[in-house]
Amino acid sequence: MKAARLYGVGDLRVDDEAEPVARDGEVLVRVTAVGLCGSDLHWYAEGGIGDATLARPVVPGHEFGGVVANGPHAGRRVAVDPAVPCGRCELCQEGHPNLCPSVAFAGHSTLDGALRELVAWPEHRVVPVPDSLTDADTAMLEPLGVAIHAVDLSHPQVGHTVVVVGCGPIGLCAVQVVRAAGATSVIGVEPLAHRRAAASAWADVVLDPHVGDFADRLRAAVGPLGAHTVIECAGNDDAVAVSVAAARPGATVVLAGIPDDDHTGFPAGLARRKGLTFRMVRRMKEVYPRAIALVASGRVDVRSLVSHTFSLTDAVEAFETASARAGLKVVIVP
Give a yes or no: residue 294 inside a domain.
no
Give a yes or no: residue 285 inside a domain.
no
Q: How many domains does the chain have?
A: 2
My answer on whether 210 and 231 are in the same domain is: yes
97-100: long-range contacts at Cβ-Cβ below 8 A with a sequence spacing of 24 or more?
Answer: 97/285, 97/286, 98/149, 98/282, 98/283, 98/284, 98/285, 98/286, 99/282
Give a yes or no: residue 33 inside a domain.
yes
Q: C-alpha angle with apex 95: 158 to 260, nearest 5 degrees?
A: 75
CA–CA distance, 201 with 301 (Å, rounded to integer)? 10
CB of 326 within 8 A of CB of 308? yes
My answer on whether 313 and 210 are in the same domain is: no
My answer on whether 203 and 263 are in the same domain is: yes
Specify the DSSP class assigned to residue 314. Answer: G
pLDDT of residue 47: 84
Give a yes or no: residue 295 inside a domain.
no
Give a yes or no: residue 218 inside a domain.
yes
Strands 227-232 and 247-255: parallel
CB of 196 within 8 A of CB of 206? yes
Give a yes or no: residue 130 inside a domain.
yes
My answer on whether 132 and 154 are in the same domain is: no
CA–CA distance, 136 with 84 (Å, rounded to integer)? 22
Look up the domain containing 94 and give its range: 2-140+302-333
Instruction: Indicate which CATH number applies to the domain containing 240.
Output: 3.40.50.720
Phi, psi of 192 (to 5 degrees): -90, 130
My answer on whether 90 and 17 are in the same domain is: yes
My answer on whether 122 and 162 are in the same domain is: no
Q: Give the pLDDT of the chain (334 residues) as one tens digit per residue.
A: 999 999 999 999 999 999 999 999 999 999 999 999 988 998 898 888 877 888 899 999 999 999 999 989 999 999 999 999 999 999 999 999 999 999 999 998 789 999 999 999 999 999 999 999 999 999 999 999 999 999 999 998 999 999 999 999 999 999 999 999 999 999 999 999 999 999 999 999 999 999 989 999 999 999 999 999 999 999 999 999 999 999 999 999 999 999 888 899 999 999 999 999 999 999 999 999 999 999 999 999 999 999 999 999 999 999 999 999 888 999 999 9
Instruction: Indicate which CATH number applies to the domain containing 68.
Output: 3.90.180.10
My answer on whether 122 and 244 are in the same domain is: no
**What's the first-to-final CA gap in the chain, in angstroms?**
10
My answer on whether 152 and 227 are in the same domain is: yes
My answer on whether 177 and 131 are in the same domain is: no
My answer on whether 198 and 265 are in the same domain is: yes
pLDDT of residue 260: 83
Give a yes or no: residue 293 inside a domain.
no
Phi, psi of 137 (to 5 degrees): -55, -45
Phi, psi of 126 (to 5 degrees): -115, 145
My answer on whether 275 and 164 are in the same domain is: yes
CB of 288 within 8 A of CB of 141? yes
What global pTM score does this model have?
A: 0.94
Q: Of 266, 200, 292, 187, which Cα lies nearest the Cα of 231?
A: 187
Give a yes or no: residue 327 inside a domain.
yes
My answer on whether 196 and 78 are in the same domain is: no
Q: How far is CA 105 from CA 100, 111, 176, 326, 331, in A?
A: 11, 6, 26, 27, 19
